[in-house]
């Protein structure tokens, strides 16, 4: 399957939306009973938490995908990945924004991306709290439920609100200079706790752009497809083994992207 036919991509695009909806339905059921979930911390990062809901939702997505497309690879936040020798790789975060999820905030989502021949090709972000599914396939445009999306048309950071994210993988010194430049230029920002959801909101034109100094593939790849298909630009996230190691993420419309790029301290490709 070195050359994936258009119909094979279309089949995965349709199925990705089915999987995202099923995962979101299961996650929302856990969300309504979140007080019963035991919480664990990953490693030494107290910001990075996991629960039974994360594991069971990811297992659902893995089962559905491997049954339908047994020769595709799978990379999940909780369970990791395989050999990455397949032409198509599914990249899944079962609940992006677990801390928000566990604390009763409505800023979490299911995030599913598909990389085909090394290119981000399909992106789906499902927000069950607001009954919104952001989805896109390379070359076919981006959609919010059934309506086309278009990126914000602002010319500078003064024309809208930026989304930003960070984690304890990055020191404050690697993140704060960007915020300082943004504020000095008259811009403003929000951080909701779900990078995947904020990237989807960039594609929908709600946020002017998004920056995070280091983001994992399962959080970023869907939004990269969404933003590109909505008329925006992003850096080359997959450069330097970004699929496995993560990378800096910057996205906006072409005018704003140029302004933002000069403030990023990480290598930007």
Domain residues of the chain, as ranges? 6-148, 157-261
Q: Is the pLDDT of residue 224 over 60?
A: yes
The mean per-residue pLDDT over the stretch 187-195 comes to 96
First to last CA, the chain: 29
Measured between alpha carbons, how far is residue 232 from residues 98, 141, 236 in Å?
A: 27, 11, 13
Return d(Cα 268, Cα 147) in angstroms, integer.
Answer: 32
The mean per-residue pLDDT over the stretch 99-120 comes to 95
The mean per-residue pLDDT over the stretch 83-101 comes to 91
Q: Do the beta carbons of residue 96 and residue 111 sit within 8 Å?
A: yes
Return d(Cα 55, Cα 39) in angstroms, integer.
Answer: 12
Beta strands at 39-42 and 45-51: parallel, antiparallel or unpaired = antiparallel
What does residue 92 show for φ and ψ, rounded to 5 degrees? -130, 130
Q: Is the pLDDT of residue 46 over 50?
A: no
State the angle between helix axes of 195-203 and 217-229 in degrees (0 to 180), rounded to the nearest 10: 0
The mean per-residue pLDDT over the stretch 182-200 comes to 97
For the chain, percent of residues with pLDDT exceeding 70 = 94
Q: What is the pTM of this model?
A: 0.93
Domain covering 6-148, topology: Fructose-1,6-Bisphosphatase; Chain A, domain 1 (3.30.540)
Architecture of domain 157-261 in CATH? 3-Layer(aba) Sandwich (3.40)
CA 91 to chain centroid, in Å, comes to 10
Q: Do the beta carbons of residue 239 and residue 122 sit within 8 Å?
A: no
Contacting residues for 220 by C-beta, under 8 A, at least 6 apart: 195, 196, 199, 212, 237, 246, 247, 249
What's the whole-number average pLDDT of the chain? 92
Return d(Cα 78, Cα 245) in angstroms, integer.
Answer: 15
């Amino acid at each position: 399957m070195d050359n994936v036919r258009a119909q094979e991509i279309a089949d995965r695009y349709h199925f990705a939306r089915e999987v995202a909806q099923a995962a979101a339905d299961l996650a929302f059921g856990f969300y309504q009973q979140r007080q019963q979930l035991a919480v664990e911390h990953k490693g030494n990062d107290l910001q990075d938490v996991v629960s039974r809901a994360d594991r069971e939702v990811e297992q659902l997505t893995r089962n559905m995908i491997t049954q339908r497309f047994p020769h595709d690879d799978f990379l999940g936040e909780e369970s990791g990945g395989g050999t990455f020798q397949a032409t198509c790789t599914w990249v899944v975060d079962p609940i992006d924004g677990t801390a928000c999820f566990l604390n009763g905030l409505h800023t979490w989502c299911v995030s599913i991306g598909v990389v085909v021949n090394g290119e981000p090709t399909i992106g789906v972000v499902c927000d069950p709290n607001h009954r919104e599914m952001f989805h896109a396939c390379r070359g076919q445009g981006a959609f919010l439920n059934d309506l086309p999306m278009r990126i914000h048309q602002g010319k500078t950071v003064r024309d809208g609100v930026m989304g930003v994210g960070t984690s304890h993988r990055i020191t404050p010194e690697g993140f704060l200079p960007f915020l300082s430049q943004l504020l000095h230029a008259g811009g403003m920002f929000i951080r909701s706790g779900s990078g995947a959801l904020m990237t989807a909101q960039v594609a929908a034109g709600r946020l002017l752009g998004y920056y995070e100094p280091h983001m994992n593939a399962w959080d970023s790849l869907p939004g990269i497809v969404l933003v590109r298909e909505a008329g925006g630009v992003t850096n080359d996230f997959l450069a330097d083994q970004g699929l496995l190691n993560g990378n800096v993420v910057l996205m906006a419309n072409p005018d704003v992207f140029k302004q933002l790029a000069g403030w990023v301290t990480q290598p930007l490709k």
